[in-house]
Each structure stands twice: as structure tokens, then as C-alpha cells.
Amino acid sequence: MSSSTEAGNAVAFSYLTIQSYHEKLSEEIHAPGFSLCHRSETNGFICKVRSMVVFPAITATFWLIALATVDRWLLSSAETNRRQKSTIQNAQRGTIVIICASLGLYIQMLYCYEADQLNAPLKCYASTHICRVLSDISFALLTLFIPLLVMLLFGVMTIFNIRQRHHQVHHHNAVIQHHNADIHEIYRKRTDRHLVIMLFFQIATLFILSMPCPIQRLYLAFKSPDPVTGRQYPLDAFIFTVSLLSMYLANGLSFYIYTICGGSTFQKGLFDIFHRFRRMIVEI
């Protein structure tokens, strides 16, 4: 695995995840320190700005994970041309394209989202039925479903490449036996096994915890409100909040999946970051 490429993707992914988490926590925790974010429930301008920060951050987060999955597929390929495409420059270009596209995708938030919405799961929400359907479909498909499908597709292809490479190496070792080659093969098989485990748990966790949110959003977009109060049913609003928090939990678990299932590659990288941070503090 290319550590430089993974580092480039991981930095951007971590930044956007932390930023979107900050916005969501500010929304959920009722405390004086978070009063500015709660003004988005009554202030239209703050509502629009907050929406233009949170939703592009979530979208970029999922697409950056998908980009990392494509990068792993390139690195695991037996073809030299594909492996050469996995560079830090391409990762940086992909990150820039994803961030810009994520911002462009939700530019309609400046028009659609308004504060003080009564017939909605959140007070800062799309103001019209058309805007809700448009934002919910784009969120379900472009933010979650398509990047999850990309992760699944290239994840399976990565596993296939690894298995194919193992068969090629076994055939080579049957012809030529060398002690150093055997040691190198054992280390590479261990690394590949950690990669497969990490890939499986990452995709499974993201899919299981993230898909309820777009399904619930689409359900609310097409369901009629309570005919008596004119508002959403309390149970529907509660399920929506739980599914939204579940999606944020899926993003937060990625770090622990990298660390626990990624083997020595990610653990060593994490310790290196801690050592660099400690040296920076000592030098200051």
C-alpha cells in the first residue's frame, strides 16, 4: 500500500469528518456554548451557511473513502500501468475534485433551506416539497448509495487482485525456492490479509450504519404529515434523528477499523504521527 497516497486521502478524510462531526454535535447538544449553531433553527442565513458546510463535508467524506478504495485496487493490480497511477499527485487532484463537486452538488441549499420549518424532522430544513425531494434524492444517491457502491465494487476487485497475485506467487515459488523470497512473501501475505479484513469491515460498517438515513429521508419526503397537527409524526422524527446519528457513527468508526484491522501498517503510521506531534511540542 502506498503510504503517501493513503496519507493524502486520510488527512482530507479526517478533516472533513471532524468538521461535519463538529457541526452535528453542535446541533444535538443543548448547551450555551453551542448557541450559535442553534440559531440556525431560527436564523435563515445561519441555516443556509450551516447546510452548505455539513452536507458537502459528509459527501466529500464518503467519496474520499471511495477514492481510497479505488487507490487500493490500483495498488493491488498485477498490471504495472495501473500501479503507477497510484500517486500522491493523483490523490491530491482527486481530493480537490471531490471537494469542489461536493460544494457544487449542494449549492441549491442556499435557496432551498430555511429556518423555522415545522413540517420537517429538523427546524433547519428544505422549505418546499420539491426542494425536499431533490435534496433527499441527491443525498441518498450521490452522497451515500453511489460511493458505497463504488467501495463495494472496487473492494471486491481488490480482493480478487490479491487472490490472483497469491496464486501467481505460489506458482513462482514452486519453480524457484529462495529463503528471502519466502520471508518477503509471508510478510506480504500478512499485510494483504490485514488489508482484506480492514476493507471488509469498513465497507460493511459504512453500508449497515449509513443506509438507514437516506431510506428514512426518502420515506419522509414522500409521506404526508399528521393531518391534525400538520407536522411530522414524532416517531418518524425520532427514527430520522437516530438514523442520522448512525451515519455519523459509521464515519467515526473508520479510524478504529484502520487501527485495529489495518495491522502494523496503520498502527506504525499512527505512532509516527504521535511521535512527530510530541517532538513539535518539545521544540515549542
CA distance 243 to 249: 10
Q: In the numeric block, which cell numbers belong to residue 2?
A: 502506498
* Sign of torsion over alpha carbons 62, 253, 244, 126: negative
Residue 62's identity, in one-letter code, is F
CATH number for position 61: 1.20.1070.10
- Residue 263's pLDDT is 61
Identify the bridge partners of residue 114 per DSSP, sorted by sequence position: 125
pLDDT category of residue 206 using cuts at 50, 70 and 90: confident
- Residue 22's pLDDT is 45
pLDDT category of residue 54 using cuts at 50, 70 and 90: confident
CA distance 247 to 205: 10
Q: Compute the average pLDDT of residues 32-42.
A: 58
Task: Lowest mean pLDDT of 37-41, 51-55, 269-273, name the range.
Answer: 37-41
pLDDT category of residue 192 using cuts at 50, 70 and 90: low
- Residue 129's pLDDT is 82
Is residue 211 within 8 A of residue 217, CB to CB? The reply is: no
Q: Compute the average pLDDT of residues 147-169.
A: 79
Average of per-residue pLDDT values in the chain: 74
Is residue 239 predicted with pLDDT exceeding 70?
Answer: yes
Is residue 33 predicted with pLDDT exceeding 50?
Answer: no
- Residue range(s) defining the domain that contains residue 65: 3-283
Q: Look at residues 210, 171, 167 and name the one whose alpha carbon lies nearest to residue 189.
A: 167
CA distance 110 to 50: 10
CA distance 151 to 90: 18
pLDDT category of residue 44 using cuts at 50, 70 and 90: confident
Q: Compute the average pLDDT of residues 160-183.
A: 57
Quick count: other Cβ atoms within 10 Å of Cβ 109? 22
Is residue 3 predicted with pLDDT exceeding 50?
Answer: no
- Residue 167's pLDDT is 58
Instruction: Tell me the per-residue pLDDT of 56-111, one tens digit each, with 9 for 90 and over.
Output: 988 998 898 899 889 888 888 888 888 888 888 888 899 999 999 999 989 988 88
- Residue 103's pLDDT is 92
pLDDT category of residue 137 using cuts at 50, 70 and 90: confident
Q: Look at residues 206, 213, 196 and name the one whose alpha carbon lies nearest to residue 261.
A: 196
Q: Compute the average pLDDT of residues 162-188.
A: 56
Is residue 154 within 8 A of residue 128, CB to CB? The reply is: no
Q: How many domains does the chain have?
A: 1
Strands (E), 79-187: 113-114, 125-126
CA angle (140 as vertex; 249, 247 as ends), nearest 5:
5
